[in-house]
Structure 1
C-alpha cells in the first residue's frame, strides 16, 4: 500500500534541499564580500569557508539527483528541480573560482574596484534565496515577482558597473598583465550575477506554471 505520508515527506525533502543549496550560495557570496573588506589574515579563514560551502553545495546537488531517481512524487516537474539545483550550485562554484584567482593575483591589483560588483552580487543572491524559500509556501506569485524585480535591478546595475570598470581598464594606467588579471576577475563576478539571474528565472517559471 502506498504511504501518502511518506510521499508528502519526500516532497518536503526537495524543498529542504533546494533551500539548503540557496543558503550555501548566499553564504559564499557574503564571505566573498567579507574577504574584500578585511585583511589577508582574516581572508584565509573565509576562503576556507567558501571552499567548504561549495563542497557542501555539491553534496546537496548530488543528493537532489539521488532523490529524483528514487522518488515517485515530486513537488513540481523533475526537469525544473534539476535545472534549479544546477543553477544554484553554479553560484558558489563561480565564487570559489573567483576567490582562487584572488589568492594568486599580484598584491598591487586593486581589489576595491570590485566591491560595488560584489555588493550587487550579494543583493542578487539574497533575492534568489528568498525566491527559493517561497516555493514551499505555494503559489505566491506577487512576492516572487517582487523579488525577481530586485534581482533584475541588481543584474542591470552590475552590467553598468562592469561597463564602467572596463572603461577604466581601457583608459587607466594599467600594465598589460594587470588588464588581463582584472578583466578575468570582473568577468567572474559578472558570471556569478548571471548564475543568480538564471536561478531566479527558473523559480519564476516554476511559479508561473502553477499559478
Structure 2
C-alpha cells in the first residue's frame, strides 16, 4: 500500500508551491511600489539612495523567486495550470519588479529631484496597480471568488489608463517649462519608465484573466 501511495505522490501537482511563489513575488512587488512612493517624496538625496538600495534588494529577491519558479516548472510533470501560463505569469510579475527598480535607478543615476506632481501621481498609480495585482494573484489559489480577481483586473486597467493621461500631461508640461535639454531627456525617460510599470501590471492582469477563463 505504501508503494502505491509513493507512486501517486510522484504525480501529485505541487499546487501549493507554485501559488506560494507567485504570492511571494506579488508581496515583494507591492513593497517595492511603496518604497518607490516614499522615494519620490524624499527630499534628502542620501536618503533617496538608501531607498533605491532597498528597492534593488527586493528586485533581486523577485529574480531569485522567478528562478525558483522556472526550476520547479522544469521538475514537475503536473502543474496547477498550463506550463505556458505559469511561465507567462512569472515573467509578467518579474517585469513589474524590473520597471519599478528601473524607475528608482533613473532617479538615482540621473540625480533627478522627483519632487514633482506628475512623478508623484505615477508612483501612486504604480502602487495602486501593484495592490490590485496582488489581490488577483492571491485569488488564483482557489478561484472561488472570481469577482475579486476580475474587479482587480478592471482596476489595474483603469490605473493604466490614468497613467497614460498623467504621462501625456507631464510630457506636455515638460516641453513647455523645461529649457535644459539634458534634463528634458532624463525626465522624459523617467516618465516613460514609470508609465511602462503600469503597463506591466496590466499585462500581468491579462495573463491572470486568460488563466481564469481556462480554468475557472
Sort the TM-score into its range (normalised by shorter chain).
Answer: over 0.9
Residues 177-202 of structure 1: CA deviation (Å, up to 9, x unaligned): 11101100000001111111100110
Q: CA RMSD in A?
A: 1.8
> Unaligned stretches of 5+ in structure 1?
none
Point out the more displaced range, 74-83 or 174-183: 174-183
Instruction: Name the CA distance, whole Å, in 2 between partners of 1:150 and 1:108.
Output: 30
1:31-61: CA deviation from partner (whole Å, max 9, x where unpaired) = 1111111233432332111111111111100
Moved over 3 A (4+): 3-6, 106-113
Change (3 A) 1:116 1:5: same
User: C-alpha distance in 2, partners of 1:138/1:206?
Assistant: 10
What corresponds to 1:162 in structure 2?
167
Provide the residue aligned with 2:22 in structure 1. Answer: 18
8 Å Cα contact 2:135/2:148 also seen in 1 = no
Is residue 190 from structure 1 mapped to residue 206 from structure 2 by the alignment? Answer: no
Does the residue aligned with 2:143 lie in a helix, a strand or coil?
coil
Work out which of the residue numbers 97, 109, 114 in structure 1 matches 2:119. 114
TM-score (norm 1): 0.93
TM-score with structure 2 setting the length: 0.91
Structure 2 unaligned residues grouped into runs of 5+: none
The answer to whether the Cα contact below 8 Å between 2:12 and 2:78 also exists between their aligned partners in 1 is yes
Matched residue of 1:76: which SS? Answer: coil
Is the CA contact 1:148–1:200 (under 8 Å) kept in the aligned structure 2?
A: yes
